[in-house]
């Protein structure tokens, strides 16, 4: 008699609304349906996101093969907290220098600043320290300590696996969950949430069995900045930058000319509110057929803007858990020009072939190290992208107004430059991920 095939359990971390949109909402559960052919699925998340995930599971009929486990209230012990600080300042990136200088400008003293620079120069330049520190992190927490943060008991079968959707250091609960499964000798396939994570968020405390890389740019940084071995890297694509999400080109005669300003929010850009208020007032003098859309970042919404909107200006937000990538891209794809600072929004527009401009000035000068202008020099991801793409960086209000009026002269960025940062949009993220997972299933038999 043939033995009945028992599907192993694939645990999937999902702690951010943005990832809920990328992995579940936008493709209507298709990715999970493909995984379910080979695995029972268990989403590890927080209670704050549980209802939203349950709603999506029900909406796309994923209940028969998808369960949920809650992991929350994780607290670092003193030793782990110290290591986390070392990881935070141990990445060989100009973004680390910006962070050290920012903390100093906000009041941190001479001793702390010197200590951070010592960590930076030692860890960033001595490659032998990275594996040693990661081993120390591995030893810093016991399995029993990690177990208590799971609300449900974790039952592992012979071929269980873990897929980490956001291996960004010190963000969310993905890393301690990864540590738990690593201690249980479970293979881990992982990626990061965004194109900036390997150069901005410090050193990865935990390396997976296989790292899914989004692009050539991320590949280079994974090796040079994080010390990930090339043999453990599999080339994929950014989940949100796949061909299937690009809206169909609509040739419609429209007398309206459409522009979008992509906000960063006050946490990322302290001058954003000032800029939006100035821009809206300046728009009153624009041609009457020029429409402006101020696209707020869903994680950093500015709710106290002191402006009366003229009829050709709209404030809009594409909430991560209420809209799909198709909704968002459908809007951006209709734009004649998109502009913003060091925000992913300008890369999104470039991906769709929409011309972009970079804002390189402030309405009210900010603290140098806190200023969003550092995205043009100290934050490598955006600085490199603007340099490689030769994006025009506007340094005065007058420059911006002139370029908007002359919007037809601005050309889209060359496709090969965009792919360097987004990955190849013809690649199927679900197929690459599934193949990476199945490699371990085959090798275990």
pLDDT per position as a tens digit, 117-156: 999 999 988 889 999 999 999 999 999 999 999 999 999 9
What does the alpha-carbon distance between residue 437 and residue 344 come to, in Å, rounded to a whole number? 29
Read off the pLDDT of residues 254-313 as tens digits, 9 standing for 90 and up.
789 999 999 999 999 999 999 999 999 999 999 999 999 999 999 889 988 878 899 999
68 and 174 together in one domain: yes
H helix intervals, 241-343 = 272-283, 325-332
Nearest Cα to 146, choosing from 183, 186, 180? 180
* Residue 197 resides in a domain: yes
* Residue 252 resides in a domain: yes
Report the 10 Å Cβ neighbour count for 248.
6
Which CATH number does the domain housing residue 147 bear?
3.40.50.2000
214 and 66 together in one domain: yes
Backbone angles phi, psi at 350, to 5 degrees: -60, -40
387 and 261 together in one domain: yes
186 and 129 together in one domain: no
* Boundary (domain end) residue, out of 108, 134, 160: 134
Counted domains in the chain? 3
Q: Contact, 351 vs 418, CB < 8 A?
A: yes
* Residue 1 resides in a domain: no
DSSP for 10-29 reads EEEE---HHHHIIIIITTTT
What does the alpha-carbon distance between residue 392 and residue 407 come to, in Å, rounded to a whole number? 12
The three-class DSSP label of residue 270 is: coil
What does the alpha-carbon distance between residue 149 and residue 246 come to, in Å, rounded to a whole number? 40
* Residue 3 resides in a domain: no
The confidence score (pLDDT) of residue 171 equals: 58
| pTM (2 d.p.) | 0.93
145 and 56 together in one domain: yes
Number of residues that make up the chain: 445
What does the alpha-carbon distance between residue 120 and residue 97 come to, in Å, rounded to a whole number? 8
What does the alpha-carbon distance between residue 217 and residue 386 come to, in Å, rounded to a whole number? 13
Q: Contact, 100 vs 67, CB < 8 A?
A: no
What does the alpha-carbon distance between residue 348 and residue 151 come to, in Å, rounded to a whole number? 37
Backbone angles phi, psi at 235, to 5 degrees: -75, 125
Range of the domain at 430: 9-75+141-241+425-443
117 and 253 together in one domain: no
* Integer-rounded Cα radius of gyration of the chain: 23
- Which ranges of the chain have pLDDT less than 50? 1-2
315 and 395 together in one domain: yes
Nearest Cα to 264, choosing from 371, 394, 184? 371
Q: Contact, 313 vs 283, CB < 8 A?
A: yes
116 and 156 together in one domain: no
255 and 381 together in one domain: yes
Q: Is the C-alpha dihedral spanning 294, 376, 420, 31 positive or negative? A: negative
* Residue 409 resides in a domain: yes
409 and 384 together in one domain: yes
What does the alpha-carbon distance between residue 237 and residue 151 come to, in Å, rounded to a whole number? 33
* Residue 173 resides in a domain: yes
The greatest distance separating any two alpha carbons of the chain, rounded to the nearest whole angstrom, comes to: 80
* Residue 4 resides in a domain: no
391 and 269 together in one domain: yes
* Residue 386 resides in a domain: yes
What does the alpha-carbon distance between residue 65 and residue 40 come to, in Å, rounded to a whole number? 5
84 and 71 together in one domain: no
């Amino acid at each position: 008699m043939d033995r009945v095939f028992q599907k192993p359990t694939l645990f999937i971390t999902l702690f951010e609304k943005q990832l809920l949109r990328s992995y579940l909402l936008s493709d209507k559960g298709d990715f999970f349906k493909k995984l379910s052919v080979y695995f029972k699925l268990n989403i590890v998340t927080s209670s704050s996101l549980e209802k939203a995930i349950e709603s999506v599971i029900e909406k796309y009929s994923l209940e028969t093969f998808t369960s949920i486990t809650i992991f929350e209230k994780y607290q670092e012990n003193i030793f782990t907290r110290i290591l986390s600080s070392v990881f935070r300042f141990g990445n060989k990136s100009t973004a680390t220098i910006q962070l050290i200088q920012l903390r100093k400008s906000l009041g941190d003293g001479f001793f702390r600043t010197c200590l951070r620079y010592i960590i930076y120069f030692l860890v960033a330049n001595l490659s032998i320290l990275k594996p040693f520190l990661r081993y120390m992190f591995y030893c810093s927490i016991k399995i029993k300590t990690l177990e208590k943060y799971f609300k449900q008991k974790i039952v592992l079968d012979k071929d269980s696996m873990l897929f980490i959707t956001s291996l960004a250091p010190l963000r969310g609960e993905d890393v301690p969950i990864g540590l738990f499964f690593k201690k249980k000798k479970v293979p881990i396939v992982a990626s990061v949430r965004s194109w900036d994570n390997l150069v901005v968020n410090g050193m990865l405390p935990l390396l997976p069995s296989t790292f899914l890389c989004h692009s050539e740019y991320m590949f280079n940084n994974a090796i040079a900045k994080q010390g990930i071995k090339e043999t453990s890297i599999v080339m994929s694509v950014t989940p949100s930058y796949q061909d299937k999400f690009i809206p169909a080109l609509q040739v419609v005669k429209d007398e309206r000319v459409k522009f979008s300003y992509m906000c960063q929010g006050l946490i990322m850009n302290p001058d954003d509110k000032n800029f939006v208020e100035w821009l809206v007032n300046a728009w009153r003098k624009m041609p009457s057929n020029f429409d402006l859309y101020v696209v707020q970042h869903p994680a950093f919404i500015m709710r106290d803007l002191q402006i009366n909107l003229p009829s050709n200006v709209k404030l809009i937000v594409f909430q991560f858990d209420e809209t799909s990538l198709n909704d968002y891209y459908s809007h951006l794809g209709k734009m004649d020009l998109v502009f913003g600072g060091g925000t992913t929004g300008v890369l999104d527009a470039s991906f769709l072939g929409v011309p972009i401009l970079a804002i390189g000035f402030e309405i009210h000068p900010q603290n140098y190290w806190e200023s969003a202008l550092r995205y043009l020099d100290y934050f490598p991801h955006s600085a490199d992208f603007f340099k490689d793409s030769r994006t025009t960086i506007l340094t005065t209000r007058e420059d911006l107004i002139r370029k908007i009026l002359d919007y037809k002269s601005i050309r889209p960025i060359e496709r090969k430059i965009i792919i360097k940062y987004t990955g190849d949009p013809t690649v199927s993220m679900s197929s690459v991920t599934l193949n990476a997972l199945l490699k371990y299933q085959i090798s275990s038999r």
